[in-house]
Amino acid sequence: MPPSLTTQITQIQGVRLVGANDTEWDITIKYPEKPAKGTIIAITPTRSCNSSPDDNSSSLALPALTHPHIHLDKAYVHSTREYTHLLPSEGSFQEALSFTTQAKKQFNPADLMKRGEWLLAESVSAGVTAMRAFVEVDHTVKLTCLEAGLKLKDQWKECCDLQIVSLAQDPIFSSEYGDENRDLIEEALQRYPQIDVIGTTPYVESSTDAARRNIDWAIETALKLDKHVDFHLDYTLDSSKEALVWYVLQALQRNKWTSQSSSRRVMLGHCTRLTLFTDEEWSDLAKKIRNNDLPVSFVGLPTSDMYMASASPAANAPHNRPRGTLHVLKMIREHGLDAIIGVNNVGNAFTPWGSADPLSLACLGVGIYQAGTQKDAELLYECVSTRARAAIGLLGSRGGSGLMLKEGDQPDLILLHNVDDTGCNVSRPRRSVAEVVWDPPARVSRHVICNGHLKLPSHPTYPETARYYFKDNDA
């Protein structure tokens, strides 16, 4: 069940901010009379500090974390007894597809709610207050996954903003079930206006022509219904296969996406085929997006990509196993593209390793991208926080770059405290974003604030360095 939350916080006193570590700050929050999102209206230096500026014992306040791409219905299949016969034996992509298809035949509302709550609890406790959650709709599960996802969206709305993606993981223009799968998606979209995003997986279609029809249908339907669109795309390391990203961009232009949809965005996930692009192809891609003002974002999914996107080893080098995942930092810095990273799957055949904590993903990025500077760490944090939130269309006009809290921000925050989580009466401070990313602190050190409400329990067994002031319960 969702966690308990405090009443509205009106002020947080004595915190450190990114770029201003030598000063403690007070954050003042205001709420509208009617139920709506709160707003940070003032950030001012703390008048009386409990610590000297160089003490660095005060809490570090950062924007909350975001899951821009995570599968809600397939989470923690490996943690459930009913699916023990479907644990990986090969670890291949085809096995994952097959085992997941078999697992879906056993999905039921109680099972989906249980595993979905596991994912939400793990995520919110880590500091996630927004997520784009995929739930599948097809001839096997019908609308069961979707209905469970919408129920969780409502139950957890006070602590996490769930964007529900109605996902066509299976073909919708090929195979014997293509027409039925498409009909079910269209039925879901008509029946449930709470669906935020249309998602498809063009690469599962049996031909390039069918994949293109898949893309056209998703874009045209999203425009008609005013939805975001999210593609699992180009998930291969085979250079002989056409990169469908070019067709997506053409289809967006042909359908005049930018002129018809002022706020809806397009997300392209995985895209491992793009790692084989030349510098010229990357430049052409960025130019096409920029010159046509296309609201396109890319999400790399390293834990899944590194596990699944593997080219066959050469006969003369059997130990050489190339892996592929988007180099999001280069995409941002060298080409000005909008790129982020996401967790994708947790505890199933597609990704049996890793956790639901986005900070662990940012930490992994340090090694994957050989990104060891403090600026790298701050950019990686943005990629699982502010940039991720903007990419799924939730951040509004603020944009996604920068970690310094500002007036006008929504009060979705993490406060990181110096906590002894060793049991040795030793507390090692993390004074910067880099230290947080390089070695993510335990959840016990994280205070999660969801739209101005502190998630409980707040672990009162350790000293708090920030001071909270709450709106009167009767106010």
Buried-state track 87-110, b at ≥16 Cβ within 10 A, e below 16: eeeeeebeebeebbeebbeebeee
Q: How many of the other CB atoms lie within 10 Å of CB of 24?
A: 24
CA 357, 363, 365: angle at the middle one, nearest 5? 110
Residue carrying the six token digits 């139950």: 155
Based on its alpha-carbon atoms, the radius of gyration of the chain, rounded to whole angstroms, reads 22
With both helix axes pointing from N to C terminus, report the angle between 279-291 and 328-335 in degrees, rounded to the nearest 10.
Answer: 70
CA distance 368 to 239: 22
Quote the pLDDT of residue 397: 47
Comparing CA positions, the residue from 475, 407, 463, 451 lying closest to residue 9 is 451
Q: How many of the other CB atoms lie within 10 Å of CB of 256?
A: 10
Residue carrying the six token digits 């308990």: 4
Residue carrying the six token digits 């994957």: 368
pTM above 0.85, yes or no: yes
Phi and psi at residue 138, to the nearest 5°? -165, -175
Which tokens in the block code for residue 126? 């880590």
Burial class (CB in 10 A: 0-12, 13-18, 19+), 57: middle
Quote the pLDDT of residue 421: 83
For the chain, the residue count is 475
CA distance 361 to 377: 11
User: In three state form, how does the secondary structure of the chain look?
Assistant: CCCCEEEEEEEEEEEEECCEEEEEEEEEEECCCCCCCCEEEEEEECCCCCCCCCCCCCEEEEECEEEEEEECCCCCHHHCHHHHHHCCCCCCHHHHHHHHHHHHCCCCHHHHHHHHHHHHHHHHHHCEEEEEEEEECECCCECHHHHHHHHHHHHCCCCCEEEEEEEECCCCCCCCCHHHHHHHHHHHHHHCCCCCEEEECHHHCCCHHHHHHHHHHHHHHHHHHCCEEEEEECCCCCCCCCCCHHHHHHHHHHCCHHHHCCCCCEEEEECHHHHHCCHHHHHHHHHHHHHCCCCEEEEECHHHHHHHCECCCCCCCCCCCCECCCCHHHHHHHHCCCEEECCECCCECCECCCCCCHHHHHHHHHHHCCCCCHHHHHHHHHHCCHHHHHHCCCCHHHCCCCCCCCCCCCCCEEEECCCCCCCCCCCCCCCCHHHHHHCCCCHHHEEEEECCEEECCCCCCCCCCCEEEECCCCC
Quote the pLDDT of residue 172: 98
For residue 45, cis peptide bond before it (omega within 30 degrees of 0): no
User: Is 205:214 a contact under the CB 8 Å cutoff?
Assistant: yes
Quote the pLDDT of residue 474: 39
Quote the pLDDT of residue 171: 97
What lies within 8 Å, CB to CB, of 272 at 6+ separation is 234, 235, 236, 237, 305, 309, 324, 325, 326
What lies within 8 Å, CB to CB, of 116 at 6+ separation is 72, 73, 75, 148, 149, 152
The torsion of the CA quartet 385, 386, 390, 394, rounded to 10 degrees, works out to 80
**pLDDT by position in tens, the chain (length 475):** 899 999 999 999 999 999 876 789 999 999 988 767 899 999 999 986 554 444 557 899 999 999 999 999 999 999 999 999 999 998 888 898 899 999 999 999 999 999 999 999 999 999 999 999 999 999 999 999 999 999 999 999 999 999 999 999 999 999 999 999 999 999 999 999 999 999 999 999 999 999 999 999 999 999 999 999 999 999 999 999 999 999 999 999 999 999 887 789 999 999 999 999 999 999 999 999 999 999 999 999 999 999 987 766 666 777 777 789 999 999 999 999 999 999 999 999 999 999 999 999 999 999 999 999 999 999 999 999 999 999 999 976 456 788 999 999 999 999 999 888 888 988 888 889 999 999 999 999 999 999 999 998 755 555 567 899 998 753 3
CA distance 196 to 351: 25
- What is the dihedral sign for C-alpha 343, 347, 352, 357? positive
